Structure 1
Amino acid sequence: MSASEYDGLVAIVTGGGSGIGAATARELTARGARVAAFDLDPAGAPEGVLGIRADVTDDESVRTAVQQVLEAFGRIDVLVNNAGIGAQGTVEDNPDDQWHKVFDVNVMGAVRVSRAALPYLRKSPAAAIVNVASVAATTGIPQRALYSTTKGAVQSLTMAMAADHLREGVRVNCVNPGTAATPWVQRLLDAAPDPVAERAALDARQPHGRLVSAEEVALAIVYLAGPSSGSTAGTALAVDGGMASLRLRPKED
């Protein structure tokens, strides 16, 4: 990727006020893009990024936010569907209303923003959508039944969208991060009976022995969204330290 390949392009990043979204917005801006961060609290958007309050569970809010981007920048070239929430528990533990809520954000949120942005993406010479799924889409992780189901749906949605829109000039891919050092994971650690032991367990769960950084995920997103990946479509790029695919022998003492 060149430092200037995004010159003149406009990107939307949902959930751009913190974590992976903020890191992505920052990286896109550094590479020359004009970026709008959609978030319930856009105050956390990085410097130089247009923060827009948007609720991905509300179609009118999403469409209003997209129009604000067009008024500010005149075009849309890249969409990063990153907004998401987590959930813990087995299939027995989460009530129906929580299932509906997490699906509404993680899956339908991506649907709503994509639906609103596609008419403008089709006009771009370098259109791309990147959805943020998870290693949980392809790997069985304890106590993540609801979250894993939504992220599996995001990956399936990515493949369907890629097939539907590639010949319209819109590439669609997704990234599957491993356990990342984000505010949500930090809240899980803070709530654990032994945060130090829980952090060690999360680190050890990934073959490279640590959490994935938000910046590492952002760089993968930026690659998939940029002109340099013009022949990449319908791909799920794992950024998980080998968690989904590697089975290393235990470390010797």
Structure 2
Amino acid sequence: MSVVLVSGASRGLGNALAAEYAARGDQVFCGVRSLDARVAGIPVELDVTDNDSVARAVDFVVATAGRIDLLINNAGVHLAGPLLSLEINAFKNILDVNVLGAWRLTRAARPYLTDGSTVAMISSLSGLVGPANDGAYATSKFALEGMSQSLASELGPEGVRVLVFEPSAVATGFAGATHGDPPATVASDIANVIASNDAPFRNPLGDVGRRVAETLRIDDGSRASALFASFSK
């Protein structure tokens, strides 16, 4: 049985991920803003923009389970509109949640990640392509991917994997998406990749995601790793 902590688990994909791992028999801790949220696991109050909240959440998980085997950084917010028309504090908030939120939670969890643990970052196809009127979200996801690649290089030698997932449209209502892949299907796909011993760093999801990555010749991480290795010789 693995110990799993999922941020942003009150609804949408995070909620589906918590349900997926609970169904697999794992001990799941669900990071939520309100403990009234209905989740398939142990609710843990968590605001990823608040250092103290992050520390308390991680402390609770560790006091209860003793370790963290899988950290899923799923918490995220969306902001639409032409990039240069955005109000600056709203732009800062999306970066605070989507990028620094994942950084805060990973930093707090790091002492309790065991050899063989995984940190899963939920990115988006907007982390590979910057569409019009979605620049703030794309900025945050591009930054998340770059941060994750550095973390993968830093934590890999210590036995901790960092994997990135890029779903296409998921029918959760997030960012107005009422169409797309069912969240339970996406959650199952993510869990299956994480269960694989040879999972690549970057993982586009769904037919659309895979077509985008193939068309753009997106590196799954192997080319970057080979390049980094060549620099160290």
Q: Report the TM-score, using the length of structure 2 for normalisation.
A: 0.85
Give the 3-state SS of the residue equivalent to 1:25 in structure 2: helix
Q: Is the aligned partner of 1:114 residue 2:106?
A: yes
| Aligned counterparts of 1:162 and 1:75: Cα–Cα separation in 2 | 20
CA apart distance, 1:212: 1.9
* Cα-to-partner distance string for 1:120-158 (whole Å, 9 max, x where unaligned): 10xx24300000000011123221010011011111111
Name 1:216's counterpart in structure 2.
185
| Aligned counterparts of 1:179 and 1:116: Cα–Cα separation in 2 | 30
Structure 2 residue ranges without an equivalent (≥5): 216-233
* One-letter code aligned to 2:6: V
Asked if the contact 2:204–2:213 (Cα under 8 Å) also holds between the matched residues in 1, the reply is: no
| Aligned counterparts of 2:189 and 2:161: Cα–Cα separation in 1 | 15
Larger radius of gyration: 1
* One-letter code aligned to 1:238: P
| Aligned counterparts of 1:90 and 1:147: Cα–Cα separation in 2 | 11
Q: Is the aligned partner of 1:225 residue 2:194?
A: yes
Name 1:192's counterpart in structure 2.
none
| Aligned counterparts of 2:214 and 2:130: Cα–Cα separation in 1 | 14
User: Which of the two has greater helix per residue?
Assistant: 2
Name 1:164's counterpart in structure 2.
154
Root-mean-square deviation (CA), in Å?
Answer: 1.8
CA apart distance, 1:183: 3.0
Name 2:28's counterpart in structure 1.
35
* Cα-to-partner distance string for 1:91-127 (whole Å, 9 max, x where unaligned): 1221111111000000000000000001110xx2430
| Aligned counterparts of 1:88 and 1:107: Cα–Cα separation in 2 | 17
Q: Taking structure 1 as reference, are residues 245 and 126 closer, same or farther at Cα in structure 2, changes over 3 Å only?
A: closer
Structure 1 residue ranges without an equivalent (≥5): 1-6, 190-198, 200-209, 248-253
Corresponding residue to 2:135 among 136, 139, 145: 145
| Aligned counterparts of 1:246 and 1:119: Cα–Cα separation in 2 | 37
| Aligned counterparts of 2:106 and 2:193: Cα–Cα separation in 1 | 16
Name 1:78's counterpart in structure 2.
70
Name 1:25's counterpart in structure 2.
18
CA apart distance, 1:71: 1.5
Q: Taking structure 1 as reference, are residues 70 and 245 closer, same or farther at Cα in structure 2, changes over 3 Å only?
A: closer
Corresponding residue to 1:241 among 196, 202, 207: 207
* One-letter code aligned to 1:223: N
| Aligned counterparts of 2:7 and 2:149: Cα–Cα separation in 1 | 20
Runs of 4+ in structure 1 over 4 Å off: none
Asked if the contact 1:88–1:143 (Cα under 8 Å) also holds between the matched residues in 2, the reply is: yes
| Aligned counterparts of 1:41 and 1:174: Cα–Cα separation in 2 | 27
CA apart distance, 1:45: 4.0
